[in-house]
Amino acid sequence: MRVRKAVIPAAGLGTRFLPATKALAKEMFPIIDKPTIQFIVEEAKKSGIEDILVVTGKGKRPIEDHFDSVPELEQNLKEKGKNDLLKLVQQTTDINLYFIRQSHPRGLGDAVLMAKDFVGNEPFVVMLGDDLMRDKVPLTKQLINRYDQTHASTLAVMRVPHDQVYKYGVIDPGTEVSQGLYDVKKFVEKPAVDKAPSDLAIIGRYLLTPEIFDMLETQKPGAGHEIQLTDAIDRLNKIQRVFAHEFKGERFDVGYKFGFLKTSIQFGLDHPEVKDDLKNYIKELAKTLK
Ligand code: UTP
């Protein structure tokens, strides 16, 4: 069956960005001029996804507004002949987006469970807004290509420095069944550094079969007293094969302050409007640093 649905969980509290996230969803924070969630939606579109469900919570209305049309603004830009800007504004409306609310942020697993009716009996992808990916083929498309061969759930993983593994879901890899595709013995959410089975960490893209919902419905809270998607995937792995696909492209974690800042600089250095000024600024700044 073709993979055509995506779920973007965006109902977390974003505590690492307080106080900014008191009233504004972190998914709306822009990298230069584009909210982070728009990068995710664009990756989905480029990967052939047709329908997207965004799981939202309190204070997330601006996400809905961002992907809606704004007739007054569009009319104004048209009258002033600002066609480039008009195109940018209209670009955000040409995909089927649906929204559902998770009234209590009980964890990522619970947020994904909210998508059960939307997904139905199809394979689907989960895309986390904290991770922006760059590669020739979008990571979501890479996972879909794997699924087309294996018809099994496949998670994206990446090697991270060993002292960082406690922040991630980590896999215990089995055999490498084909280049960069691993059988998985076990999935562990946020392991202690000395107990981590490997340095292969789950990054924010998952291709899942609908049987994951049976696991989520009975999933007990795990690390951080939250209903963890990783724990449900570990149980799924006991009844059907789950693979891990190693991502070799670039990953930008915008879910914490320094990561967000680094991403802004990296993307700024590629942004046609600001790249030259930014480069000069960094060069001058570097001279003043010890
Ligand atoms: P995080 O663990 O990054 O939590 O969630 P968070 O709330 O977004 O941010 P911090 O850690 O408090 O700063 C991972 C992903 O799961 C979603 C989040 O929106 C994020 O995309 N999530 C998490 C939910 O949708 N619901 C939840 O109950 C928990």
Closest-lying ligand 1 atom to the alpha carbon of residue 128: 21
Residue 259 confidence (pLDDT): 97
| pLDDT less than 70: residues of the chain | none
Q: 38-41: which pairs have CB atoms within 8 A and are 24 or more residues apart?
A: 38/66, 38/92, 39/132, 40/8, 40/127, 40/129, 40/132, 41/8, 41/67, 41/92, 41/95, 41/97
Q: How far is 186 from 204, CA to CA, in rounded Å?
A: 18
pLDDT digits (tens, 9 = 90+) for 34-44: 999 999 999 99
Ligand 1 mean position to 157 CA, how many Å?
A: 18
Residue 94 confidence (pLDDT): 73
Average model confidence (pLDDT) for the chain? 94
Residue 60 confidence (pLDDT): 76
- Tell me if 196 CB under 6 Å of ligand 1: no
Q: How far is 249 from 206, CA to CA, in rounded Å?
A: 16
Tokens at 59, concatenated: 């204070």
Residue 138 confidence (pLDDT): 98
Tokens at 22, concatenated: 């008191």
Residue 252 confidence (pLDDT): 97
Ligand 1 mean position to 212 CA, how many Å?
A: 19
Helices of type H across 92-226: 108-113, 116-119, 139-150, 212-217
CA 83 to chain centre: 31
Testing ligand 1's pocket by substitution, the residue of 15, 60, 102, 108 carrying the most ligand atoms inside 8 A of its CB is 108
- Secondary structure (H, E, C), 204-254: EEEEECCCHHHHHHCCCCCHHHCCCHHHHHHHHHHHCCEEEEECCCEEEEC
Tell the residue nearest (CA) to atom 18 of ligand 1: 12
Q: Is 180 left (phi over 0), alpha (psi -120 to 50) or beta?
A: left
Looking at the structure, give the CATH architecture of the domain made up of residues 5-153+203-217+228-238+245-255. Answer: Alpha-Beta Complex (3.90)
- Tell me if 63 CB under 6 Å of ligand 1: no
pLDDT digits (tens, 9 = 90+) for 29-83: 999 999 999 999 999 999 999 999 999 987 778 999 998 888 888 898 989 998 9
Query: Contact, 243 vs 157, CB < 8 A?
Result: no
What are the boundaries of each domain within the chain? 5-153+203-217+228-238+245-255, 256-290
Give ∠ CA 155-139-211 in degrees, rounded to 5.
Answer: 35
